[in-house]
Amino acid sequence: MSDSNPSTGTLKLAVIPGDGIGQEVTAEALKVLEVAAPAGVKFEPTRYDLGAERYLATGEVLPDSVLGEIREHDAILLGAVGGKPNDPNLPPGILERGLLLKLRFELDHYVNLRPSRIFPGVTSPLANPGEVDFVVVREGTEGPYTGNGGALRVGTPAEVATEVSVNTAFGVERVVRDAFARAQRRPRKKLTLVHKTNVLVNAGSVWWRLFQEVAAEYPEVTTDYMHIDAAMIFMTTDPSRFDVIVTDNLFGDIITDLAAAITGGIGLAASGNVNPDRTAPSMFEPVHGSAPDIAGQQKADPTAAILSAALLLDHLGHAEAASVIEDAAIADLAAREAGSTRRTSEVGDAIAARVQG
């Protein structure tokens, strides 16, 4: 993280548009950020071309020198990472693990923050979703995402492949603490742990134990536990019951896409990969992927990227400017006419105009 003061002065942004629609939506998020900059704040964006194109051209995913440079920024704005599905020149997971997850792990983004709301004017595929406003605190540096595991006799009928989910008291406690603190600050003060303690008993018991221990320090927070499978049902039939959810890396990946789907689509879901200790820059990105099928066509909705930029501002201490962006995006959603399609840049322009107006 740079030494520049996060409140005023120059804020250094590492911008990684990535692949596919990541390029288009990031341009709009930057456009909106520029106009939303609070008085006395100047953004200094540095663009890093990382992703499928660079890998295919050079074989490089995330050179150490680039990682070192990215570290010296105040925050990172990321679009989306991932090439064409089943491109024979792109080994599966190479970009996800070598770039996106590498950034999350190296920069210790242990709080993967994913808010879900049904905004006015947005329709949910659920018949009666109720008032939905919750946030998922997904652990970001452990679980089945560690890349532990391996394979033996690959490509033969005797192949054995393993994936190891690693869960430490250190890693679980810090994200659980963050989730309790967040629940405490919200009006409903409710925290739900989602796991699969009845099957994954080793991982489950460290999550369960630390959830109970930290709960004792937050007597005002109501707690609740749900298996990941049961959470699918409640999320679909009664999403308004959730306030804050804390969960492991993989369950969080799964449940936040479901949450995005029921709250009006992945085109609206923002996220922050947060390092609450501020030992490295946090990274903000839409939940959606690179969508190679619609890339370069100005069809993608940049709202999720723009809302991610609002989370970035908030993280840097500019809560007011963050709300201005959020309000502008919400107003834009409410004003959308059914059936009308705007280009990616038109949505960005419209939101930028509301921020300025």
Ligand X SMILES: CC(C)[C@H](C(=O)O)[C@@H](O)C(=O)O
Binding mask 9-38 for its own copies (x = CB under 8 A): ------------------------------
Catalytically annotated residue among 55, 133, 178, 196:
196
The one-letter amino acid at 179: A
Q: How many residues at the interface with ligand X, by CB under 6 A?
A: 10
Q: For helices 319-335 and 303-315, give the axis angle rounded to 10 degrees.
A: 160
Residues 244-283 that bind its own copies (CB under 8 A): 250, 253-258, 260-262, 265-266
- CB-side neighbour CA atoms (13 Å) of 240: 8
Work out which of 229, 277, 320, 346 binds ligand X, going by CB under 6 A.
Answer: 229
Instruction: Find which of its own copies, ligand X, none residue 202 binds, CB within 5 to 8 Å per kind.
Output: its own copies
Specify whether the CB–CB gap between 120 and 330 falls below 8 A: yes
55 in catalytic set: no
Residues 89-118 that bind ligand X (CB under 6 A): 96, 100-101
Euclidean distance between CA atoms 19 and 328, whole angstroms: 26
The answer to whether 177 is annotated as binding is no
The answer to whether 327 is annotated as binding is no
Euclidean distance between CA atoms 5 and 12, whole angstroms: 10
Work out which of 49, 163, 277, 293 binds its own copies, going by CB under 8 A.
Answer: 163
The answer to whether 291 is annotated as binding is yes
Residue 253 interacting with ligand X (CB under 6 A): yes
The DSSP call for residue 37 is P
In whole angstroms, the minimum distance from the beta carbon of 284 to ligand X comes to 12
| Sign (positive or negative) of CA dihedral 291, 99, 115, 4 | negative
Catalytically annotated residue among 248, 253, 314, 332:
253
The answer to whether 301 is annotated as binding is yes
Closest CA to 30 of 46, 19, 41, 52: 46
Residues 6+ apart with CB under 8 A from 266: 257, 260, 286, 287, 288, 304
Toward its own copies, which CB reaches closer, 97 or 299?
A: 97
Work out which of 58, 88, 120, 156 binds its own copies, going by CB under 8 A.
Answer: 156
Euclidean distance between CA atoms 209 and 100, whole angstroms: 30
Residues 49-88 that bind its own copies (CB under 8 A): 82, 85-86
- CB-side neighbour CA atoms (13 Å) of 123: 6
The answer to whether 309 is annotated as binding is no
Residue 170 interacting with its own copies (CB under 8 A): yes
Euclidean distance between CA atoms 82 and 99, whole angstroms: 10
Residue 216 interacting with its own copies (CB under 8 A): no
| Sign (positive or negative) of CA dihedral 214, 271, 97, 92 | positive
Residue 3's alpha-carbon distances to 8, 71, 114, 279, in angstroms, are: 12, 11, 27, 11
Toward ligand X, which CB reaches closer, 81 or 191?
A: 81
Specify whether the CB–CB gap between 48 and 327 falls below 8 A: no
196 in catalytic set: yes
Instruction: Find which of its own copies, ligand X, none residue 320 binds, CB within 5 to 8 Å per kind.
Output: none
Instruction: Find which of its own copies, ligand X, none residue 351 binds, CB within 5 to 8 Å per kind.
Output: none
Active site residues: 145, 196, 229, 253, 257
Query: Applying CB under 6 A, which residues contact ligand X?
Result: 82, 96, 100-101, 198-199, 229, 253, 287, 289
